[in-house]
Amino acid sequence: MPPFPAIGVGILIHRDRQILLLRRKGVHGAGSWSTPGGHLEFGENPEACAIRETREETGLEITSVRFLALTNDIFEAEGRHYITIWMEACHRGGEPVLSAPYESDAIGWFDWADLPGPLFLPLQHLLAGECHPSLSIPAFLGWES
């Protein structure tokens, strides 16, 4: 039987016109920038996963967690396949910290128009509108002029 895709949850956390990103380390996609996120645990709903992963990775509390989109992410070189459930959340307050330094080595808020690179494959797909439903993140967040 072929392997099944794994289920990941990515959390797009925003404040003003910035999003929170971490540089991955010690996990697949090391060296790329991504949002907080991780594997959906057995019996867990995506909202709870988003809250848990954000707290574990950044120490932040988030509010207004809601579904954003799905991406189909095939990491050919690594032989991995993920379906990423993208959630969107508002930053409640405080500054993020590297709460999981074995998974990431840098963290920060980045202006939408000036994101660092390289970006993690699922985030690339989301930002390119290669998601279901297809959408423009700036338009969704009301950031288009």
Return the domain boundaries, the chain. 6-140
pTM here is: 0.94
Region 6-140: CATH code: 3.90.79.10
| pLDDT for res 145 | 56
On whether the CB atoms of residues 20 and 107 are closer than 8 A, the answer is yes
Distance CA 138, CA 136 (A): 6
Q: Residue 124 has which token pair? A: 């690339």
Distance CA 70, CA 127 (A): 12
Through-space distance between the first and last CA atoms of the chain, rounded to whole angstroms: 50
Give tens-digit pLDDT for 32-61: 999 999 999 999 999 999 999 999 999 999
Give tens-digit pLDDT for 80-116: 999 999 999 999 888 999 998 899 999 999 998 899 9
Where helices occur in the chain by DSSP H, the ranges are 46-58, 121-127, 137-140
